[in-house]
């Protein structure tokens, strides 16, 4: 039986050029050959550095709570309840280090224990963006509060019971993909007694 596991494969790329460059992402146009028997095809996609996401969890014994933050997202013109996250925009930076920084900057929290919950691509048919969701536990307040700007300056925060958060996801009250996936993965991990969580430096399939 073939092992079910995502993997990179070599593809013959005839040409590749950036057709748009923005503050966070660019648009790439590639001409490639998938099959020698077929004509070359064109694909346009968003080139994105990726991001790290953090499920900040406190409590135990079935009384766990997850930190949610409410932030305005202009593309969808909505206030969304999310979980802390940040871009991987420093070349070569360890993803866990990036996650630690984002947790401190967005939530004024420091975590002693870090595990990988889940990895995913946001929209692999049109974007290179990879995301890794970390589970951060054994929390404490950061030594100093971070001065937030732009949309982050008006964020609201709420500690929500993990079971309640699951209900919010299934009721259609949460729409941010990282929050939805993070809640589902955390609930599943707890049901397994936290067994099988990957270490913070686990291999990660990225473009």
Tell me how far CA of residue 46 lies from CA of 25, 49, 53, in angstroms: 7, 10, 20
DSSP-derived letter for residue 197 is: P
> CA 188, 191, 195: angle at the middle one, nearest 5?
90
**Would you list the DSSP string of 33-90?**
ES-TTS--EEEEEEE---EEEEEEEE--TT--EEEEEEEEEGGGTEEEEE--EEE--S
Q: Is 152 a catalytic residue?
A: yes
Q: Which of 18, 65, 152, 156 is catalytic?
A: 152
Cα 204 from chain centre: 12
Contact 27, 106 (CB under 8 A): no
Contacts (Cβ under 8 Å, ≥6 apart) of 3: none
| Residue whose tokens read 């397994």 | 192
Question: Which residue numbers are catalytic?
Answer: 152
């Amino acid at each position: 039986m073939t092992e079910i596991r995502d993997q990179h494969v070599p593809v013959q790329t005839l040409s590749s050029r950036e057709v748009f460059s923005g503050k966070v992402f660019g648009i790439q146009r590639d001409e490639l050959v998938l099959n020698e028997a077929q004509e070359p095809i064109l694909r346009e996609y968003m080139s994105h550095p990726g991001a790290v996401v953090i499920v900040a969890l406190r409590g135990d014994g079935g009384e766990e709570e997850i930190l949610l933050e409410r932030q305005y997202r202009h593309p969808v013109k909505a206030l969304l309840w999310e979980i802390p996250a940040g871009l991987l925009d420093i070349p070569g930076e360890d993803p866990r280090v990036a996650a630690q920084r984002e947790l401190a900057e967005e939530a004024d929290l420091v975590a002693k224990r870090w595990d990988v919950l889940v990895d995913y691509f946001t929209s692999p048919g049109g974007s290179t963006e990879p995301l890794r969701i970390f589970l951060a536990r054994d929390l404490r307040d950061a030594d100093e509060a971070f001065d937030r700007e732009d949309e982050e300056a008006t964020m609201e925060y709420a500690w929500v019971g993990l079971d309640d958060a699951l209900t919010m996801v299934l009721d259609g009250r949460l729409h941010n993909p990282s929050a939805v996936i993070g809640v589902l993965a955390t609930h599943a991990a707890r049901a397994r007694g936290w067994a099988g969580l990957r270490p913070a430096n686990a291999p990660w399939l990225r473009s």
